[in-house]
Amino acid sequence: MLTEWLHAVPPLLVYVVVGVVVGVESMGIPLPGEVVLVAAALMASHHDGVSPVWVGVAASAGAIIGDSAGYALGKRFGPRIFSWAGEKFPSHFSQDKVGRAQALFERHGAWAVFFGRFVALLRILSGPLAATMGMHYGKFLLANAAGGIAWAGGTTAAVYFVGEAAEHYLAEFSWTALVVVLVAVIAFSVRARLRRSPR
């Protein structure tokens, strides 16, 4: 049933959703861009119509356009955008988190934009922060495009090939074995998180 439903989803819709969610996240709105990208890349490994190349292209375009829009917002509204975001999304835009991100940008400049694409908080703050701190748009665009393509392409390729390998090996197992494996993975993840939480 689920497999039939997934195969009925038009590939174009998958690309549009990936591009829009990643783009909106990159503008500064905390949406699960990475989760959507991973889900689409996994879908490409099981759905003949969905191309991993176009998933990567859609995510790259969303990242570059969204970050550029975030830069434009930061240029126009400056610090006001962070006070508004702090009120609307306090868990993502607390003064402490924004301050740490700002310190990274001051210290590393364009490299912070490039590597920030791989870190959830910096991915959201990259455009507005770079503009607010006066980074030249050409410099920002170059680092942003390189980071967006590396992040989107690398994530898509890694997840796609892992999904293909998993499908190949799990084809020999029953659904019961698959459920047992998934429950074990979730249990270990929860246990590790609980151990870390007091620290």
Tell me the per-residue pLDDT of 31-67, one tens digit each, with 9 for 90 and over: 888 888 988 888 887 767 889 999 999 999 999 999 9
Which of 1-10, 23-32, 64-73 has maximum average pLDDT? 64-73
pLDDT of residue 186 exceeding 60, the answer is: yes
H-state helical runs in 47-174: 52-77, 80-88, 95-108, 110-116, 120-132, 137-170
Q: How far apart are the C-alpha atoms of 31 and 59, rounded to whole Å?
A: 14
Residue 171 is given by DSSP the state T
Task: Tell me the C-alpha to C-alpha distance, in Å, between residue 5 and each of 8, 14, 15, 26.
Answer: 5, 13, 17, 29
Give the pLDDT score at 191: 67
pLDDT, mean over the chain: 78
What is the pTM assigned to this prediction? Answer: 0.72
Q: How far apart are the C-alpha atoms of 158 and 25, rounded to whole Å?
A: 21
CA 143 to chain centre: 16
Give the pLDDT score at 131: 84
pLDDT of residue 198 exceeding 60, the answer is: no
Terminal CA-CA length for the chain: 43
